């Protein structure tokens, strides 16, 4: 059996096959080929061929639906060519929080801190977090584009901020204006669903922590 994948997902596919071989006792032969390998082999065999060009176009469309891995340089500078991918992976990860019953609000671009963001309700009618792509390349001395914000105007903002600082020391920061910030980590060299899952895992853990937040004391 041959598994066809984009070049940047070859390692992911090889890991899946290796895991399948360890868990299943069978004699099925499996290998991984990339689209590039197949196209190169067909081009060498067929030369200029209209069917081959049609296949090449279909593969390009298919790869456009996937999110390629980021390099560290792209994350450090927020490469303009990858900006849409950065927004897309945050959008996909944050919207998936609705699978846990969280209320996920529509995205927005009119925010003084974020180029793109959305709010996620942690507790019904109570604490909300904002997650998105910041406008500035560095915040609080941390070079990260994707952040979680607990706005000072949200319910239980102070308690939520102190709880995040306690659970994530050195990462979460409750500022003097009452707003709390925490960066998310985009894994380098990991694309597609795996990158989305990495962000979703971080967001899920943050919302789980904040779901135990107690009410602020009256001032």
pLDDT tens track for 165-199: 999 999 999 999 999 999 999 999 888 888 889 99
Region 150-167: mean pLDDT is: 93
Q: Are 118 and 147 in a shared domain?
A: yes
CA distance 28 to 32: 13
38 in the same domain as 114 = no
- What's the 3-state SS for 128-179? EEEEEEECCCCECCECCCEEEEECCCCCCHHHHHHHHHHHCCCCCEECCCCC
Residues 6 or more apart from 169 whose CB is under 8 A from it? none
Question: What confidence tens digit (pLDDT) does each residue in 112-127 have?
Answer: 999 999 999 998 778 8
Q: What residues make up the domain containing 176?
A: 72-210
Domain assignment present for residue 21? The answer is: yes
**217 domain residue, yes or no:** no
> Is the same domain home to 29 and 86?
no
- pTM equals 0.73
83 in a structural domain = yes
Give me the number of domains the chain comprises.
Answer: 2
Q: How far apart are CA 115 and CA 94, in angstroms?
A: 15
Cβ-based neighbour number of residue 96 at 10 Å: 17
């Amino acid at each position: 059996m041959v598994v066809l994948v984009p070049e940047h997902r070859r390692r992911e596919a090889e890991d899946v096959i290796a895991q399948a071989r360890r868990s299943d006792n069978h004699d099925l032969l499996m290998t991984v080929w990339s689209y590039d390998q197949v196209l190169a082999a067909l081009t060498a065999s067929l030369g200029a061929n209209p069917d081959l060009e049609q296949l090449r176009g279909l593969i390009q469309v298919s790869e456009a639906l996937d999110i390629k891995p980021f390099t560290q340089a792209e994350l450090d500078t927020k490469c303009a060519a990858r900006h849409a991918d950065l927004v897309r992976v945050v959008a996909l990860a944050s919207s998936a929080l609705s699978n846990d019953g969280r209320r996920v609000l529509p995205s927005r671009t009119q925010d003084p801190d974020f180029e793109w963001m959305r709010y996620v309700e942690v507790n019904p009618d109570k604490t909300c977090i904002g997650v998105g792509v910041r406008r500035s390349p560095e915040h609080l001395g941390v070079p990260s584009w994707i952040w979680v914000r607990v706005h000072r105007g949200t319910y239980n903002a102070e308690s939520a901020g102190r709880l995040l600082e306690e659970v994530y020391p050195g990462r979460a920061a409750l500022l003097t204006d009452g707003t709390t910030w925490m960066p998310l980590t985009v894994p380098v060299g990991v694309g597609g669903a795996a990158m989305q899952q990495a962000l979703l895992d971080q967001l899920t853990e943050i919302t789980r922590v904040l779901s135990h937040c107690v009410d602020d004391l009256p001032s």
